[in-house]
Amino acid sequence: MPNDSPFRRLPEAGRRAVTIAFEDRTLPALEGDSVAAAILAAGIATTRHTPVSGAPRGPFCMMGVCFDCLMEIDGEPNRQACMVEVREGMRVRPMMGARGLSEGSADD
């Protein structure tokens, strides 16, 4: 898959390869990656659109402080993608605006 990520992976042994689903794409990752790191390494810059103006945002601090990497992970909205480690088959979607009122629905 073409990848214009501003991050390149160093050669690495010892970490198992996994895949995660990002919307309708399958992304490669390594066990121990945070979701945010895996997404950035796969060339995806935007993790959410803000509820206030709809502006795009991406991971900023990678240490759980800024909350700009909020994503829907395995159906749960507003998770900090930099604080969650990838698991095989994990389903990840960007947060578009505020979470919905019913559990798991982030689109309305």
Partner 1 sequence: MTKNVPLIVIGAGPAGLGAAAEAAGAGVETLLLDEQPGPGGQIYRAIARSDAARRALLGPDYARGAALLPALESGAVDYRPGANIWQITPEREVYFTRDGKAQVLQAARIVLATGAMERPMPFPGWTLPGVMTAGAAQIMLKSAGTVPQGEVVLAGSGPLLLLLASQVLDAGGRVAALVDTTPRGSLMAALPHLPGMLRAPSTLKKGLALLARLRRAGVPHYKGAGDLRARGTEKIEALRFTAGGREYDLPCALLLLHLGVVPNLQITRALGLAHDWDPLPRCWRPRLDSWGNTEHEGIAVAGDGGGIVGAEASEHQGRLAGLQAACQLGKLNPADRDAKAAGIRRALAAQRAARPFLDRLYRPAEAFLDPPDNTLVCRCEEVTAGQIRDFVRLGCLGPNQTKAFGRAGMGPCQGRFCGLTVSEVIARARGAGMEEVGHYRIRPPIKPVTLAELAAMDPDDTGPEGGFDRDDAA
Spatial separation of the C-alpha atoms in residues 14 and 87, rounded to whole Å:
16
Tokens of 83: 């604080």
CA angle 34, 83, 9 (to 5 degrees): 20
Residue nearer to partner 1 on the CB measure, 32 or 96: 32
Binding residues vs partner 1 (CB under 8 A)? 4-10, 12-14, 30, 32-34, 37-38, 40-41, 45-47, 50, 52-53, 55-68, 70, 78, 83, 85
Smallest gap from residue 53 Cβ to partner 1 (A): 6
In 3D space, the residue among 30, 16, 77, 91 whose CA is nearest the CA of residue 7 turns out to be 30
Nearer to partner 1, 4 or 24 (CB): 4
Shortest distance in whole angstroms from residue 15 CB to partner 1? 8
Q: Give whichever of 83 and 91 is closer to partner 1, judged by the CB atom.
A: 83
Name the minimum Å distance from CB 25 to partner 1.
17
User: What are the E-state strand segments in 10-88?
Assistant: 17-22, 25-30, 48-49, 56-57, 70-73, 76-80
